[in-house]
């Protein structure tokens, strides 16, 4: 019996149970539904047959950012703490890098399997698991597809006991069949609203709203705000997937501002966008339109840097924002303005 939440380590958190009969199953289910897993309520429980195993392994495919290549990973110690195991027991991890433009080479897979110390019979049965996982990874345009644990039953068959699949948000429009499967079960309404509009929103405990282009940049800004003596109320990653083709930038900016300002704890906003493919002038036009049509009473510091950023000062000259190009100065200014008005 497994609590269905979007977190790993459920076994260690007590969110995976066993039951010997129906009465015990009911009791375990009631207990699981009363739990909170890593800040999330348990709303669903998966019930399945428990299978006696001879072994548990790890099998996954991901994008190796260091080498900029897809990589097939097999671990002889599956189950919990696979990340820690890969660091402490690197001899148990086996990797096969793949051509990003092709598919899994049968010849390369054969050589790879010979390096895994499990015996010829087990490796022969592992081969179709690798092939099918690779096919899913490429066909569905994943950034991660993993089976953990990959069980090996007493009868000598591989069984996927648990799995995680993350599809590239930017490719979802090519896979409309996957969109109904997207998990939007956050306990925080604004997080669900952001997901519906194609953004990622994380509620924090501060009072400075952060709108940022990319999760990594957003987390950096949150840390910088804390170092400057402030606290972020959220971060909103606007580099999400778009559900409509040619969606107007002004609509995106409106949705972003609506979500951030819906949080009553927000007393200031840092709007930070690094424009690559995103044009800073279009973002600025959207922000200008929003501020002309809505009364915003909290200070806003804007950093728009990148493509066509030279046009931003003229676009925003007649609206109430503080425009700063340097990120550290922008962070310091929003913290100062917030404290000044407290």
What's the pLDDT tens digit per position in 1-27? 998 887 777 887 888 999 999 999 999
Q: Which helix (H) or strand (E) holds 113?
A: helix 106-114
203: which 2 tokens? 């509620």
Residue 180 has pLDDT above 80, yes or no: no
Q: Against a cut of 0.85, is the pTM above it?
A: no
Among 172-176, 323-327, 331-335, the range scoring the smallest mean pLDDT is 172-176
Assigned token pair, 109:
């897979």
Does the pLDDT of residue 203 top 90, yes or no?
no
Same fold, 53-174 and 189-340: no
- Ranges 86-95, 212-221, 227-236, most confident: 227-236
Q: Is pLDDT of 184 > 70? A: no
Tokens of residue 147, six digits: 């089976």
Strand 142-153 and strand 322-323: the pairing is unpaired
pLDDT of residue 231: 95
Mean pLDDT (whole number) for 192-198: 71
| pLDDT beyond 70 at 209 | yes
Q: In the predicted model, is pLDDT for residue 305 greater than 60?
A: yes
Query: When comparing pLDDT for 165 and 85, which is higher?
Result: 165
The CATH number that domain 53-174 falls under is 3.30.470.20
Q: Which CATH number fits domain 189-340: 2.40.50.140, 3.30.2320.80, 2.60.40.10, 3.40.50.261?
A: 3.40.50.261
Measured between alpha carbons, how far is 192 from 201 in angstroms, rounded to an integer? 8
Q: What is the pLDDT of residue 244?
A: 39
pLDDT of residue 40: 65
Query: d(Cα 281, Cα 312) in Å, to the nearest integer?
Result: 6
Residue 326, number of CB atoms within 10 A of its CB: 11
Let me know: does 278 contact 252? Beta carbons within 8 Å: no
Domain ranges of the chain: 2-46, 53-174, 189-340
């Amino acid at each position: 019996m497994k609590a269905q939440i979007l977190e790993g380590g459920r076994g260690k958190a007590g969110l995976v149970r066993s039951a010997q009969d129906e009465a015990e199953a009911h009791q375990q289910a009631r207990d699981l539904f009363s739990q909170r897993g890593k800040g999330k309520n348990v709303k669903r429980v998966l019930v399945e047959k428990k299978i006696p195993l001879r072994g548990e392994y790890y099998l996954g495919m991901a994008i190796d950012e260091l080498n900029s290549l897809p990589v097939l990973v097999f671990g002889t110690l599956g189950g919990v703490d696979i990340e820690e195991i890969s660091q402490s027991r690197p001899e148990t991890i086996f990797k096969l890098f793949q051509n990003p433009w092709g598919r899994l080479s049968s010849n390369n897979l054969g050589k790879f399997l010979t390096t895994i110390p499990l015996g010829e019979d087990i490796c022969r049965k592992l081969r179709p698991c690798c092939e099918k996982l690779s096919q899913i990874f490429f066909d569905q345009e994943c950034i991660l597809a993993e089976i953990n644990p990959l069980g090996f039953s007493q009868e000598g068959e591989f069984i996927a006991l648990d799995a995680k699949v993350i599809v590239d948000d930017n490719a979802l429009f090519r896979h409309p069949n996957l969109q109904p499967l997207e998990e939007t079960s956050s306990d925080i309404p604004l997080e669900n609203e952001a997901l519906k509009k194609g953004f990622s929103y994380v509620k924090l405990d501060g009072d400075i709203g952060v709108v940022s282009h990319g999760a990594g940049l957003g987390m950096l800004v949150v840390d910088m705000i804390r170092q400057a003596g402030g606290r972020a109320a959220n971060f909103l990653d606007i580099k999400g997937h778009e559900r409509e083709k040619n969606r107007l930038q002004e609509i995106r900016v409106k949705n972003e501002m609506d979500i951030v300002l819906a949080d009553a704890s927000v007393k200031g906003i840092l709007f930070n966008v690094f424009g690559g493919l995103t044009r800073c002038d279009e973002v600025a036009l959207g922000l200008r339109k929003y501020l002309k049509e809505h009364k915003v009473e909290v200070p806003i510091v804007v950093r728009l840097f990148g493509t066509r950023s030279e046009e931003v000062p003229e676009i925003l000259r007649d609206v109430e924002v503080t425009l700063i190009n340097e990120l550290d100065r922008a962070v310091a200014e929003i913290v100062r303005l917030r404290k000044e008005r407290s």
